Amino acid sequence: MLSKSAEYAIRALVYIQMQNWEGKRPGYRQVAREIDSPEHFTAKILQIMTRFSLIYSLKGRNGGFTFDEQDGPLKLYRVIVAIDGEKSFTRCSFGFKNCDATNKCPLHDEFSKIRDNFAEMVNNETIQSLAQRIKAGEAVLTQKIH
């Protein structure tokens, strides 16, 4: 349900949060390397995130990306909307432009439930909750091939 851009954005923000907790502000090259994302693509995604004030970019020797603790937890919903817009929560599984309760595609009823559950999940989860799971050793940020 997520675009590749949204996947990379979430991973990048989780990594940045984890670095911020250690008192560090990573640059886009470091973020790209650590989340296994192309540098140019990561730079564009982080530029979008700063444009939406989801993170902040500091220039100079001690620069890098950071969260403002006063902003509070960042819901995944806001990240997805910044990257993909609202369509992630409204699109038809068949790609119909006018799929609704009166003009249904064959998967409308079942897909609506999945879409609603997805919207609920991303409204409950935050970048910080995901980073905390990784920090606690309950999850990983990247999968290393053995």
One-letter amino acid for residue 107 of the chain: L
Residue 110 in domain:
no
Contacts of 98 (CB under 8 A, 6+ apart): none
Residue 61 in domain:
yes
Residue 117 in domain:
no
pLDDT at 134: 95
Rounded CA separation 122/129 (Å): 11
Residue 57 in domain:
yes
Domain count along the chain = 1
Residue 69 in domain:
yes
Residue 106 in domain:
no
Residue 120 in domain:
no
- Residue span of the structural domain in which 30 resides: 4-84+126-135
CATH number of the domain encompassing residue 14: 1.10.10.10
Question: Averaged over 111-118, what is the pLDDT?
Answer: 93
By the 8 A CB rule, do 94 and 118 touch?
no
Max CA-CA distance within the chain?
58
pLDDT at 95: 87
pLDDT at 144: 66
By the 8 A CB rule, do 63 and 25 touch?
yes
- As beta bridge partners, residue 126 has 75
pLDDT digits (tens, 9 = 90+) for 10-54: 999 999 999 999 999 999 999 999 999 999 999 999 999 999 999
Residue 67 in domain:
yes
Rounded CA separation 78/55 (Å): 12
> Comparing 126 with 97, which gets the higher pLDDT?
126
By the 8 A CB rule, do 76 and 70 touch?
no
Question: Averaged over 54-81, what is the pLDDT?
Answer: 93
